[in-house]
C-alpha cells in the first residue's frame, strides 16, 4: 500500500513537471467578476458538463434568411425554414468536427462519451475537473456569489491547442458567471402597499382600450380581464388550438403549482377553471406539487400566459442541471448552465410552441461575449423556424440590480472599475423580442423597466430608423461613455408590470416586474399566432422586423408610453419619449389593431393606411 501511494505521488509530480500540452494558447480570459469571491481550488473529482461550440459554417446565410422571412415587406414573409434546413446551414465544417474529435480522443474521450446537438455545432462531455483542467490548461476554483451565497465552479481563463482556435468558438462552463435570475420584482401580499384606487367612477376612459374604457379597479389590481380590456382583446376566442401552442420556461427550481393555477383560473378566468397545462421535464427538472414548493415566478408566468390564451394548449418547461446532479461539499448548488440545456432540448423538438416566454436573465456583462453570441445564434435558429421568443428586459432600469438605484455603481467587469449602464441578456440578443414594463391606468412608465443598449450586439437593421431617431433627441454628450450608442437597443415593447394578482402557495398576492410584463405580451402574441394559424397563415416567428414596421407606420398598433424614465447607476436613466425609446420600446399592444395588421396583407403597414 505504501508503495503504491508513493508511486502515485511520483507520477503526479512527473506530470506536473512535464511540458504542457503542445502549444496551448490562451483562448479566453475575463477579469474576476464583481460580487464573486474565489474560495478555494475545485475538487479534482467534481464533474463538469463541458459544452464545446464549433463554428457554424453558414450563420450569415441563416441570418439573411431570418431577416427576409421575418420582414413584412419581403415577399418571403412567413416562409420559415424547416429544422433540417436550419441545421444544414449552421452545421460546422467536417474538418472542425474531426479535429475536435481527435483532440478529445487524445484525452481518452471516445465518441461514445460525447453528445452532439442535432446540427453537430455543440459537443457536450461530462468530465472531472482534473481532466477539464488538463484539456484547457487552466485551474477551476469554487467561486462564491457574495449576495446570494450561490457557489459555482469556474475559472477566469482557459487555453486550447493553437491549431484548434479556429475550430472551437467557446468552451463553457469556464468563464461564464451569469446566473439567469428570475426578473420578478417585489411580492406584495394582498392589500399591502397598494395605492388606493378611486372607485367613484367605475370605468377609466382609455380611448385605445376595448370599448374605450377599463374597469377602475384595474389601476392597482391587474387580472387577465384588465389586460384584455386595456389591450383591446376582449371577446377574442382562440380557435387554432390543434396547431397553436404557448410555452413558458422555468429554471432554478421554479415549480408551477396546479392547485394555484386552478384556483387562479377559478377566480379570474372562469372559462379556464378546469383547464391545465403540459409539463416538460428537461435534464432532471422537476415540478414538485407540494404547495410550499410552488415557485412565484412559475406561478405568475403560467397563470398569465395560459390564462390569457385559454384554450390554447400551454407547455411549462422545467429545466434542471444535467442529471444526476449530486451536490457536494464544494458546490451545493448546480454549476451547470440550465439555459443551454433548455436550448438543446427545444432545438431538437420538431414542433416547438410558436410563442415562448422567458422571464429570466442576467446582466449582459456576466455572460462572456463569445458565449452570449453563440446562445443568441441558437435563438436565431428558433426564429427562423417560426418561433416568437420573448424575454424580460430586466427590473433595474439602466442599472445593474444593486438594491438602491441611487448608490448603484454599475462597475464594469473589465477590471477597470469603469461605470457603465448594464443591459440584460438574453434580452439584448437582436434575434429576440425584449419586453419592458408599465404600470397604472392610464399607463405610465414603470421606473424599473430594464432598458438601454447592448455592449455586445450592434444595432440590427430593423432599428436603423427608430434608434437613431431616439438618440437624436438626447442633448449632445448625454451619458457619453455610459452606454454604447451603436448597440442593439432594448426593450422592443412593453406591457403592464405591477399589481398582478397571483395565486402563490395557496395565497392570493400581488406581484410585478418585467416578469409579469413578459408572459402578458407573450399571451397577446400567442393570440395573434392563433388568428394567423386559424386562417392557414404561417405563425409570426421572429417578431422584431414586424414590430419596428408597425411602430413606424401603424400608430395604433401600440400604445406609446411617453414620460417617465428608468433610473439606475446614479442617473435618471433614459426618458420615455414619443416613438421608440430604451425604456418602454414602442409601448404596449393593441390586440385587435395588431390582429388587423397580421391578418391583412401587410400592405396595411405601408403609410399606416387605416391604422
Ligand X SMILES: *[C@@H]1O[C@H](CO)[C@@H](O)[C@H](O)[C@H]1NC(C)=O
Catalytic residue among 301, 337, 377, 378: 301
Least distance in angstroms from the C-beta of 216 to ligand X = 7
Cα 379 from chain centre: 10
Q: How crowded is residue 496: how many other Cβ atoms within 10 Å of its Cβ?
A: 26
User: Which one, of 504, 516, 518, 496, lies nearest residue 246 by Cα?
Assistant: 518
* 407 counts as binding ligand X under rule CB under 6 A: no
Q: How crowded is residue 273: how many other Cβ atoms within 10 Å of its Cβ?
A: 14
- Options 55, 471, 478, 485; binder of ligand X; rule CB under 6 A: 478
* 474 counts as binding ligand X under rule CB under 6 A: yes
109 is in an annotated binding site: no
Contact string 505-544 vs ligand X (x = CB under 6 A): -x--------------------------------------
User: Which one, of 289, 298, 222, 302, lies nearest residue 259 by Cα?
Assistant: 289
Catalytic residue among 121, 169, 229, 297: 297
Contacts of 207 (CB under 8 A, 6+ apart): none
Residue nearest to ligand X (CB): 506
Answer whether 504's CB lies under 8 Å from 294's CB. yes
560 is in an annotated binding site: yes
* 195 counts as binding ligand X under rule CB under 6 A: yes
- Closer residue to ligand X (CB): 97 or 234: 234
- Closer residue to ligand X (CB): 68 or 572: 572
Task: Please identify which residue in the block is written with the cell numbers 413584412.
Answer: 72
* 204 counts as binding ligand X under rule CB under 6 A: yes
Least distance in angstroms from the C-beta of 416 to ligand X = 6
- Closer residue to ligand X (CB): 202 or 270: 202
603 is in an annotated binding site: no
Residue 337: active-site member: no
Torsion of CA 368, 373, 378, 380, to 10 degrees: 140
- Options 243, 293, 562, 599; binder of ligand X; rule CB under 6 A: 293
Residue 301: active-site member: yes
- Closer residue to ligand X (CB): 205 or 600: 205
- Closer residue to ligand X (CB): 1 or 475: 475
* 148 counts as binding ligand X under rule CB under 6 A: no
Contact string 487-506 vs ligand X (x = CB under 6 A): -------------------x
Rounded CA-CA distance 194/188 in Å is 8
Rg (CA), the chain: 24
Task: Please identify which residue in the block is written with the cell numbers 468536427.
Answer: 97
Residue 297: active-site member: yes
Task: Please identify which residue in the block is written with the cell numbers 424580460.
Answer: 392
> Which 3 state secondary structure label does DSSP give 492?
coil
- Closer residue to ligand X (CB): 441 or 598: 441
Rounded CA-CA distance 83/80 in Å is 10
Q: How crowded is residue 99: how many other Cβ atoms within 10 Å of its Cβ?
A: 18
* 290 counts as binding ligand X under rule CB under 6 A: yes
Q: Measuring CA to CA, how many Å separate 343 from each of 85, 86, 118, 543?
A: 18, 14, 11, 19
Least distance in angstroms from the C-beta of 482 to ligand X = 10
Answer whether 487's CB lies under 8 Å from 459's CB. yes
**Contact set for ligand X, span 553-582 (CB under 6 A):** 572, 574-575
Catalytic residue among 221, 359, 393, 515: 515
Q: Binding segment for ligand X among 45-53, 197-205, 525-533, 596-604 (CB under 6 A)?
A: 197-205
- Options 58, 130, 241, 263; binder of ligand X; rule CB under 6 A: 263
Q: Measuring CA to CA, how many Å separate 512 from each of 427, 437, 581?
A: 18, 9, 21
How many of the chain's residues bind ligand X (CB under 6 A)?
A: 25
* 360-363 vs 181-182, strand pairing mode: antiparallel
Measured at the CA of 251, the angle between CA 249 and CA 254, to 5 degrees, comes to 95
- How does DSSP classify residue 391? E
7 class by beta-carbon count within 10 Å (0-12 exposed, 13-18 middle, 19+ buried): exposed
* 288 counts as binding ligand X under rule CB under 6 A: yes
- Options 110, 192, 274, 292; binder of ligand X; rule CB under 6 A: 292
In the complex, the residues that contact ligand X under the rule CB under 6 A are 195, 198, 202, 204, 215, 217, 219, 259, 263, 288, 290-293, 415, 417, 440-441, 474-475, 478, 506, 572, 574-575
- Per the annotation, binding residues for Ca(2+) are 560-561, 579, 581
Catalytic residue numbers read 297, 301, 515
Binding site: what residues are annotated?
560-561, 579, 581
Amino acid at each position: 500500500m505504501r508503495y503504491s501511494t508513493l508511486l502515485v505521488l511520483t507520477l503526479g509530480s512527473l506530470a506536473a513537471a512535464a511540458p504542457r500540452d503542445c502549444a496551448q494558447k490562451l483562448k479566453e480570459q475575463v477579469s474576476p467578476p464583481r460580487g464573486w469571491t474565489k474560495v478555494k481550488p475545485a475538487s479534482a473529482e467534481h464533474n463538469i458538463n463541458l459544452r464545446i461550440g464549433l463554428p457554424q459554417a453558414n450563420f450569415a446565410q441563416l441570418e439573411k434568411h431570418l431577416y427576409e422571412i421575418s420582414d413584412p415587406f419581403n415577399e418571403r414573409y412567413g416562409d420559415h425554414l424547416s429544422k433540417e434546413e436550419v441545421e444544414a446551414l449552421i452545421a460546422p465544417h467536417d474538418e472542425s468536427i474531426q479535429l475536435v474529435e481527435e483532440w478529445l480522443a487524445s484525452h481518452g474521450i471516445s465518441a461514445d462519451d460525447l453528445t452532439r446537438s442535432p446540427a453537430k455545432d455543440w459537443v457536450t462531455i461530462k468530465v472531472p475537473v482534473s481532466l477539464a483542467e488538463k484539456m484547457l490548461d487552466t485551474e477551476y476554483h469554487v467561486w462564491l456569489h457574495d449576495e446570494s451565497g450561490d457557489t459555482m465552479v469556474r475559472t477566469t481563463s482557459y487555453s486550447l491547442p493553437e491549431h484548434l482556435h479556429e475550430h472551437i468558438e467557446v468552451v463553457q462552463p469556464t468563464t461564464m458567471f451569469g446566473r439567469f435570475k428570475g426578473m420578478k420584482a417585489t411580492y406584495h401580499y394582498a392589500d399591502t402597499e397598494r395605492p388606493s384606487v378611486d372607485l367613484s367612477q367605475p370605468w377609466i376612459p382609455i380611448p385605445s382600450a376595448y370599448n374605450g374604457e377599463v374597469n377602475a379597479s384595474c389601476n392597482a389590481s391587474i387580472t387577465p380581464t384588465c389586460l384584455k380590456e386595456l389591450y383591446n382583446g376582449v371577446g377574442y376566442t382562440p380557435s387554432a388550438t390543434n396547431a397553436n401552442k404557448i410555452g413558458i420556461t422555468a429554471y432554478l427550481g421554479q415549480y408551477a403549482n396546479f392547485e394555484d393555477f386552478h384556483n387562479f383560473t377559478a377566480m379570474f378566468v372562469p372559462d379556464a377553471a378546469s383547464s391545465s397545462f403540459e409539463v416538460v421535464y428537461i435534464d432532471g427538472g422537476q415540478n414538485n406539487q407540494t404547495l410550499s414548493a410552488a415557485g412565484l415566478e412559475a406561478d405568475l408566468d403560467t397563470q398569465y400566459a395560459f390564462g390569457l390564451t385559454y384554450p390554447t394548449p400551454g407547455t411549462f418547461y422545467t429545466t434542471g442541471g444535467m442529471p444526476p446532479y449530486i451536490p457536494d461539499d464544494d458546490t451545493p448548488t448546480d454549476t451547470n448552465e440550465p439555459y443551454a440545456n433548455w436550448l438543446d432540448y427545444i432545438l431538437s423538438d420538431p414542433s416547438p410552441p410558436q410563442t415562448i416566454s422567458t422571464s429570466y436573465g442576467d446582466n449582459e456583462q456576466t455572460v462572456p461575449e463569445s458565449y452570449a453570441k453563440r446562445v443568441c445564434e441558437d435563438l436565431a435558429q428558433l426564429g427562423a423556424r417560426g418561433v416568437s421568443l420573448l424575454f424580460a428586459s430586466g427590473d433595474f432600469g439602466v442599472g445593474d440590480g444593486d438594491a438602491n438605484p441611487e448608490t448603484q455603481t454599475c462597475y464594469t467587469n473589465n477590471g477597470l472599475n469603469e461605470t457603465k449602464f448594464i443591459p440584460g441578456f438574453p434580452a439584448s440578443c437582436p434575434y429576440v423580442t425584449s419586453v419592458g414594463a408599465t404600470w397604472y391606468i392610464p399607463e405610465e412608465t414603470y421606473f424599473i423597466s430594464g432598458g438601454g443598449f447592448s455592449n455586445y450586439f450592434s444595432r440590427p437593421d430593423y432599428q436603423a430608423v427608430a434608434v437613431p431617431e431616439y438618440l437624436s433627441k438626447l442633448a449632445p454628450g448625454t451619458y457619453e461613455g455610459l452606454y454604447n450608442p451603436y448597440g442593439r437597443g432594448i426593450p422592443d415593447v412593453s406591457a403592464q408590470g405591477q399589481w398582478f394578482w397571483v395565486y402563490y402557495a395557496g395565497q392570493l398576492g400581488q406581484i410585478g416586474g418585467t416578469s409579469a410584463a413578459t408572459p402578458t405580451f407573450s399571451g397577446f402574441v400567442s393570440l395573434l399566432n392563433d388568428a394567423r394559424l386559424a386562417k392557414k397563415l404561417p405563425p409570426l416567428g421572429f417578431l422584431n422586423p414586424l414590430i419596428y414596421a408597425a411602430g413606424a407606420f401603424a400608430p395604433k398598433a401600440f400604445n406609446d408610453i411617453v414620460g417617465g424614465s428608468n433610473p439606475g447607476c446614479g442617473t435618471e436613466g433614459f426618458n420615455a419619449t414619443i416613438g421608440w425609446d430604451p425604456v418602454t420600446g414602442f409601448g404596449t399592444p393593441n390586440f385587435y389593431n395588431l390582429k388587423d395588421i397580421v391578418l391583412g396583407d401587410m400592405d396595411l403597414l405601408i403609410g399606416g393606411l387605416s391604422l
